[in-house]
Amino acid sequence: MSINIDENNLKKGLLGLVVALVEIIQDLLEKQALLRIENGSLSEEEVERLGEALFDLQEALEAIKIDNELEDCVYSVREGLDKVVDQVIDKFLNPTRWIEEADKNERNNTGELPISLLNCEHSR
Amino acid sequence: MIPEREGDSLVELLDRLLNKGLVLNADVLISVGGIPLIGLSLRLLAAGIETMLEYGLFEQFDKDTRAWELEHRINKPVLMSEEEVMLRFYGSYSHNQSKTWNYCFIYLTNRRIFGWNKSINKILYEVSLKNILEITVITNIHEEKEREEICIKTNDDNFLYVHSQNINEIYCKLIKEVHCI
**Could you tell me which residue, B86 or A100, shows the higher pLDDT?**
B86
Judged by CB atoms closer than 8 Å, whether chains meet at B50 and A36 is answered as yes
A115 has a pLDDT exceeding 50: no
Nearest CA in chain B to A25: B11
Q: Is A56 on the interface with B (CB under 8 A)?
A: yes
Nearest-CB residue to A67 (from B11, B70, B92): B92
| pLDDT at residue B63, rounded to an integer | 92
| pLDDT at residue A122, rounded to an integer | 34
| pLDDT at residue A4, rounded to an integer | 65
Q: Where are the domains of chain A?
A: 7-92, 94-124
| pLDDT at residue B2, rounded to an integer | 67
Average pLDDT over residues A97-122: 57
User: What's the complex ipTM?
Assistant: 0.70
| pLDDT tens, residue by residue, A2-60 | 666 666 677 788 888 999 999 999 999 999 999 999 998 889 989 998 998 999 899 98
Check the CA dihedral A113-A119-A120-A124 and report its sign.
negative
Shortest alpha-carbon distance between residue B148 and chain A (Å): 11
DSSP H helical ranges for chain A: 10-38, 44-67, 71-93, 96-108, 117-123
| pLDDT at residue A124, rounded to an integer | 31
| pLDDT at residue B14, rounded to an integer | 92
Mean of per-residue pLDDT scores for chain A:
79
Judged by CB atoms closer than 8 Å, whether chains meet at B53 and A64 is answered as no
**pTM over 0.80, yes/no:** no
| pLDDT at residue B147, rounded to an integer | 85
Nearest CA in chain B to A41: B50
DSSP H helical ranges for chain B: 10-20, 49-54, 59-72, 167-180
Q: How far is CA B175 from CA B60, B113, B132, B135, in A?
A: 51, 12, 10, 8
Strand partners, A123: none
Judged by CB atoms closer than 8 Å, whether chains meet at B105 and A56 is answered as yes
Which residues of chain B fall below pLDDT 50? none
| pLDDT at residue A3, rounded to an integer | 62
Read off the DSSP letter of residue A23. Answer: H
Judged by CB atoms closer than 8 Å, whether chains meet at A82 and B91 is answered as no
Judged by CB atoms closer than 8 Å, whether chains meet at A41 and B75 is answered as no
Domains observed in chain B: 10-72 (no CATH), 85-180 (2.30.29.30)
Chain A residues touching B53 at Cβ < 8 A? 41
